[in-house]
A = this chain, B = another copy of it.
Amino acid sequence: MPKVSREHQDARRRQILDAAVDCFAREGFHRATMQDIVRRAGLSPGAIYGYFASKEEIVEAIADERHARERALLARIDAEADGSSGDVARALARLADDFVGALRDPGERAHRRVGVQLWAEALRNPRILRIVRRGVDEPRRRIAALVRRAQRRGELSGAIDPDAQARMVIAAFLGFVLQQAWDPGADVAAYLQALRHVGGALGGAGSERDRRVRKARARVADRDHRRRKERRS
């Protein structure tokens, strides 16, 4: 039986991970020493090794946390877009709101800086790569699905590869996170607006009548698609 309560354990883990994020954001994974983390966490080396088997495991735990957060955001999108009346442009706008909006939070800056380092770390650490890819591939698949549906409905031109389109959306986020990490003065609000504008242009924002027509067509298309799918299975 554990000597300390579960709450205590969780608090310790938090304490360590927070300290680590701080140190990693400041110095990078490789420059930050365990001693730094130990100091910042106000613990001892031994205590930390009681919770994490290695420095690497701390990095992985942080990567996991980041990924969990993104998955949570995505879940909301899916819920919204799953309805047959979903509007791709609107869904993407919502995604933009959530993701890019989070960039406004200065308390999150350290985490974002660590995130960027994880992207680089993924290139040489397969475990990190898996975590990072999970955080990118899943969103991409979901966005691609949205796009495909929008194409079926005629809301988006069928000429574009849905996966490539999804990659563009992902890139718009990744690329801005980078730019903001390098230049904290980057204007989040303006970027958000630009994203929406583009989303609108693609999603075919036009007159209100246009949108209604497209939506009607979309419902029919969706129905047909479902039927074909059911017949196949």
Contact = CB atoms under 8 A, between A and B. Distances in A.
Interface SS of chain A: helix
A121 to B, nearest CB: 7
Interface in A168-201: 168, 170-176, 178-179, 181-183, 186-187, 190-191, 193-195, 197-198, 201
Interface string A101-142: 000000000000100110111111000010011001100000
A24 to B, nearest CB: 9
Interface range on chain A (Cβ under 8 Å from partner): 35 or more
B190 A198 contact: no
A152 to B, nearest CB: 17
A138 to B, nearest CB: 13
Nearest to A172: B171
Contacts of A78: none
Given A116-B123, A121-B28, A182-B133, A190 B171 contact: no
B194 A161 contact: yes
A71 interface: no
B182 A174 contact: no
Contact of A164 (B163, B164, B181, B191): B191
A3 to B, nearest CB: 9
A26 interface: yes
A195 B113 CA distance: 27
16 contacts: A25-B123, A29-B30, A30-B31, A113-B123, A122-B182, A123-B181, A136-B179, A161-B193, A164-B187, A167-B191, A168-B194, A168-B195, A168-B198, A170-B175, A174-B179, A201-B202
Contacts of A121: 28, 120
A82 interface: no
Contacts of A33: none
A194 B160 contact: yes
A157 interface: yes
A53 interface: no
